[in-house]
Structure 1
């Protein structure tokens, strides 16, 4: 078996235990060691790593912003955005190495039930514009949503659409530019159910909060969000 990221052969003494481990991670040990998982101490609202469980300053500001108070119940994420994870996401999202999503499957499977009430939730992926979807050939948020839906047999509703004029990459914008923008999303139908928004990265939280605002306004009683990376 080869490492999904570096393609080196995963060498190990084969036992039932090590065989299960290799199939589970799909990464060689040097690559797996570079992934930094978020520990148990987090911001209770956005899920960022903290020294102790509390509410971070960013989330305190969200609570003081009239347009976005109470639109998002909470976000949870799996990984910190370190240099290695940045390289993984670049290779997966921008260079089209679709198979790399398998790296995340095991952690998603074991973590999601502890994060959210999966049993009663509907999955809504964050959309791309048609232009961005054409460039990448797939929507990374839908790829993550499909992994969740497959494991937990939950429906996916692609009811959010991104307005065509909001096609500039978020990674090219400053924090101030991201925070000072109009809502880029349209809702194609109402959904009066609890929702799990899905995206790859939570940076400022603006994308998630804009999407959550639209869903709450259309009747969703609670909106949670899951991102791979915080």
Structure 2
């Protein structure tokens, strides 16, 4: 047996189920989970966003400023407040299938493939919260995917859904924005805090900005988002 095999830890890919060897490191020795959880072949199908070649506000690839963010900046509320969203990956066909299995087919363990990556995107000292589901959505899935993605950061519940607005994925940009208005209620804890909102997908920004606006209106010092994907 080779030395490198002795210094490796066997893992199972959370996507394809194949075994692979995760090289031992000080992080693993100290009990910290590695960034793996996908084998090398599956991990290579993800498309990390190059932040030097993406919208500086929302991380949309290949834009210095995308049309969505230009439209948001015309809103008087956002013209004088800072909001950025850091998305980790492009919403390519592989990640779309991963998220579908995670959200709609109940494979909650897939959050382990990304929770450490989400955690590394958050500035230390921030208060982390997640986009909540309504009661119906939570009952259907049995978990909140955004909360699982933020799990390593021990997210604080600062928001709750005030109504069922239906699936945003079926709506146009204008419909998303209209449906997002007044869909959240605030819980105590935002005043004077730097807050990071975690969610799975940023599309037009309607949902996460609706949440951010409510946090700002209730005394948050600054608000930003971190999402797994930018559609």
The interval holding the TM-score normalised by the smaller chain is 0.7 to 0.9
Q: Which residue of 1 aligns with 2:148?
A: 143
Q: Match for residue 50 of structure 1? A: 62
The RMSD of aligned alpha carbons is 2.2
Runs of 4 or more, structure 1, over 6 Å off, are none
Structure holding more helix per residue = 1
Q: How far does the alpha carbon of each residue in 1:85-128 deviate from its partner, in whole angstroms, 9 at most, with x for none?
A: 0010011111111111111134334x42xxx5322x11111100
- Structure 1: runs of 5 or more not aligned: 150-155
* Residue pair 2:115, 2:151 contacting (<8 A) in 1 also: no
Alpha-carbon distance change, 70 to 89 in structure 1, aligned in 2, over 3 angstroms: farther
**Helix, strand or coil at the partner of 1:118:** coil
Q: How many residues align?
A: 211
The alpha-carbon distance between structure 1 residues 223 and 23, as it changes in their structure 2 partners (threshold 3 A), is: closer
Q: Higher strand proportion, which one?
A: 2
Aligned equivalents of 1:15 and 1:187: distance in 2?
A: 44
1:215 shift after superposition: 0.5
Paired residue secondary structure (1:85): helix
Residues 68 and 23 (structure 1 numbering): CA distance in 2 closer, same or farther, change over 3 Å? closer
- Post-superposition offset of 1:66: 2.4
Q: Please, what TM-score do these two structures have when normalized by structure 1?
A: 0.83
Matches within 5 A, 1:26-37: 26-37=37-48
In structure 2, list runs of 5 or more residues that go unmatched. Answer: 1-10
1:1-230 alignment runs, 5 A limit: 1-10=11-20, 16=24, 24-41=35-52, 42-50=54-62, 54-109=64-119, 111-112=120-121, 116-119=122-125, 121-149=126-154, 156-166=155-165, 168-181=166-179, 182-189=181-188, 191-192=190-191, 193-230=193-230
CA contact (8 A) 2:177 2:207 kept: no
Q: Post-superposition shift, 1:67?
A: 4.2
Q: Describe the SS at the equivalent of 1:24.
A: coil
TM-score under structure 2 length normalisation: 0.83
Q: Distance in 1 between matches of 2:174 and 2:71?
A: 14
Match of 2:5 in 1: none
